[in-house]
């Protein structure tokens, strides 16, 4: 089960002070974000079936997949994969300028 971070607890506490309706919407929002992260995590597992060449074509390496799979369960790994792919593109562009 995913651990609840201190910031999430304080957000729930703040929501409780705003009224039960706000607390309900915050809880629903947190649940939806968790479900989306879980769905995206399943997609990352599917990326593991790609060959190294296919991963390179989309700007990733197999080790990038290992990095995001180790993220906490409630975190969306696709957000981090996008940032990693952007860093790879920047590094490749910088390498082209160095040649």
pTM, two decimals, is 0.63
- Report pLDDT digits (tens) over 11-64: 555 555 667 788 889 899 999 988 998 899 999 999 999 999 999 898 899 999
Burial degree of 61 (CB within 10 A; 0-12, 13-18, 19+): middle
Q: Average pLDDT for residues 56-85, to the nearest whole number?
A: 90
pLDDT of residue 1: 43
């Amino acid at each position: 089960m995913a651990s609840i971070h201190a910031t999430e607890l304080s957000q729930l506490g703040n929501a409780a002070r705003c009224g039960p309706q706000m607390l309900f919407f915050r809880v629903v929002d947190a649940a939806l974000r968790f479900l989306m992260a879980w769905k995206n995590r399943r997609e990352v597992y599917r990326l593991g079936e790609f060959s190294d060449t296919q991963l390179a074509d989309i700007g990733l390496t197999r080790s990038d997949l290992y990095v995001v799979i180790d993220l906490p369960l409630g975190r969306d790994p696709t957000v981090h994969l996008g940032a990693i792919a952007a860093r790879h593109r920047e590094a490749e562009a910088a390498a082209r300028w160095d040649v």
